[in-house]
């Protein structure tokens, strides 16, 4: 099931296949925050921790994102933002994994 979900996410957004690991991780992350019938319509995260998960930070896989570039990481006339593609979540709240197509790297 996860393979099909990850494949659909990649192809729906027209992303390269080398991002399959990011798609798998994102699919599992979201699935763990969705209710399951076998758990009495609670989520796996809720069954494990005892608390309902916060879903306000969820974003659309493959959506364009704009990252702020700090003054330390840029020169005087360089742009203050970089355009990337949202590809996943991190363990730290409110941090996201972003794919930068220009450099071919995934950053947090």
Q: In 3D, which of 100, 97, 95 has the Cα closest to residue 82?
A: 100
What's the confidence (pLDDT) of residue 35? 83
Please give the model's pTM, rounded to 2 decimal places.
Answer: 0.81
Mean pLDDT, range 6-30, rounded to an integer: 91
Q: Beta partners for 66? A: 83
Mean pLDDT of the chain: 86
What is the tens place of the pLDDT at every residue in 22-48? Answer: 999 999 888 888 888 877 777 787 777
Mean pLDDT, range 58-66, rounded to an integer: 90
Q: CA-CA-CA-CA torsion for 7, 11, 12, 15, nearest 10 degrees?
A: 110
C-alpha 44/C-alpha 101 separation (Å) is: 33
């Amino acid at each position: 099931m996860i393979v099909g979900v990850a494949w659909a996410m990649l192809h729906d957004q027209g992303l390269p296949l080398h991002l399959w690991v990011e798609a798998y991780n994102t699919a599992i992350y979201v699935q763990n925050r969705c209710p399951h019938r076998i758990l009495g319509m609670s989520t796996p995260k809720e069954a494990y921790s005892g608390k309902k998960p916060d879903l306000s930070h969820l974003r659309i896989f493959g959506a364009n994102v704009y990252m702020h570039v700090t003054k330390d990481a840029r020169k005087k006339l360089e742009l203050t933002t970089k355009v990337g593609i949202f590809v996943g979540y991190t363990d730290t709240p409110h941090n996201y994994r972003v794919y930068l197509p220009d450099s071919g790297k995934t950053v947090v």
